[in-house]
Amino acid sequence: MRYDSMMPSKTYDLADAAAIFASAIPSTLAKNPNMRFDSAEDAAIFFARELDFIKSETYDVQYPEFTALTLFPTTHEVDEGAETVTYYSYDKQGMAKIISNYANDLPRVDVKGTPTTVPVKSVGDSYGYSIQEMRASRMAGKSLDVRKADTARYQIERIINRIAWMGDKESGLPGVLSEGNDIPVYILAQGASGKTEWTEKTADECLADVKGILKQVSKTTHGVEKPDTLALPEETYIALGTTRIPDTSVTLLKFLQDNLPGSIKEIVSTPELNSNATDTNPYAKDDGTGKGVLLLYTKSEKKMAIEVPMPFLQHPAQNKNLEIEVPCEARVVGAMIYYPLSAVIAVGV
């Protein structure tokens, strides 16, 4: 056998090898004198190793353009076999008071939890290689095209990202921006231009909005919640970075980064919140009338998290006539928001 020099790895999945060997592909390739395989089994092992390499490469790929799983804590607490999951949104109740000696009327405090039951859904796709693609890869002395596997993962990650941001009404999956999640909404004031968008407002008007948002969080929660991350539409982030405070050389973005309350540690550019990001922003539109969204929140899995019971998984190869197909799957719940008042949304920023 003369195939080891091509291979990046000597390992392979036995299930993949069995699926390939059960197909007509190995015997067809082995009979071809140009393929240089000693037997059908050798051909099956060769391409099983190819698939093992491709799967390993796919798991190593990162997709930074999808922000949900990096901006929000991601958890895998729910069993991948679960069909539904119930989580609770909490609110503190009661207060302490000054008491006398031997007091027997201590006030009761508690935490009220409102249950929310949501489904666990599967997301899936597949990729595969035909016998001709295997012939071509062997003839050229190159590995099979990894881009097919990359695309399979990309599309699943894209769906998970969309669900994390705005949920899926048809499936009943919740998102951070979906309706009914009880996150307070701040109403932005119109500027002198008659518009609420920060790209159309003066520096002072933008600062007034930031002040109003922070005051609403403080007033609503009596200072208990202290959000630490400010996510802005990419277009808004760029505008802040290029708008100077009057009579200074300091940009509005730099001023906010240096002067926001100490609890706010990060201001991030988030394309999913753009006014035309219809895939992730429920307030977005493609015709120019959409609204960008600001999200101020606490980056802690105790406050909210994106639950993914089963991340991207590639199953063993399956034999389908003259093609080998690799099914791919993930299991997702979406946004589990335990303390809605730890965040605030502003639409039209």
- Model pLDDT for residues 166-201, shown as the tens digit of each residue: 999 999 999 999 988 889 999 999 999 999 999 898
What angle separates helix 234-242 from helix 252-259, to the nearest 10 degrees? Answer: 100
Contact 314, 333 (CB under 8 A): no
Is the confidence at residue 93, as pLDDT, over 50? no
The per-residue pLDDT for 291 is: 96
Residue 157 makes CB contacts below 8 A (sequence gap 6+) with 63, 66, 69, 312
Angle between helical axes of 40-60 and 147-166 (0-180°, round to 10): 40
Q: Is the model more confident about 315 or about 246?
A: 315
pLDDT in tens, 281-339: 999 998 889 999 999 999 999 999 999 999 999 999 998 888 899 999 999 999 999 99
Q: pLDDT-based confidence at 3, cuts 50/70/90?
A: very low
More reliable by pLDDT, 287 or 142: 287
Higher pLDDT, 157 or 45: 157
Distance CA 131, CA 85 (A): 43
d(CA 285, CA 156): 23
Q: Which residue has the higher pLDDT, 72 or 132?
A: 72
Query: Which positions ≥6 away from 103 have C-beta within 8 Å?
Result: none
Distances (CA, A) of 50 to 28, 134, 151: 18, 10, 17
Residue 263 has pLDDT above 90, yes or no: no
pTM flag (> 0.95): no
Instruction: Give dist(CA 70, CA 271) in Å, integer.
Output: 13
Query: What mean pLDDT is reported for the chain?
Result: 86
DSSP symbol at 201: S
Chain position carrying tokens 């201001």? 267
Whether 91 shows a pLDDT value over 80: the answer reads: no
As a whole number of angstroms, the distance between CA 124 and CA 152 comes to: 9
pLDDT of residue 43: 80
Task: Judge residue 238's burial from the number of C-beta atoms within 10 Å of its C-beta, 0-12 exposed, 13-18 middle, 19 or more buried.
Answer: middle
What pLDDT is stored for residue 143 in this prediction?
Answer: 76
Instruction: Compute CA 29 distance to the chain's CA centroid, rounded to the nearest angstrom.
Output: 42
Cα–Cα separations (whole angstroms), residue 39 to 29, 129, 170, 314, 317? 9, 20, 51, 27, 20
pLDDT band at 28 (very low <50, low <70, confident <90, very high): confident
Q: Quickly state the pLDDT bin for 32 (edges 50, 70, 90).
A: confident
Name the amino acid, one letter, at 269: S
| The pLDDT of residue 78 | 95
Q: What's the confidence (pLDDT) of residue 119?
A: 96
Region 148-160: mean pLDDT is 93
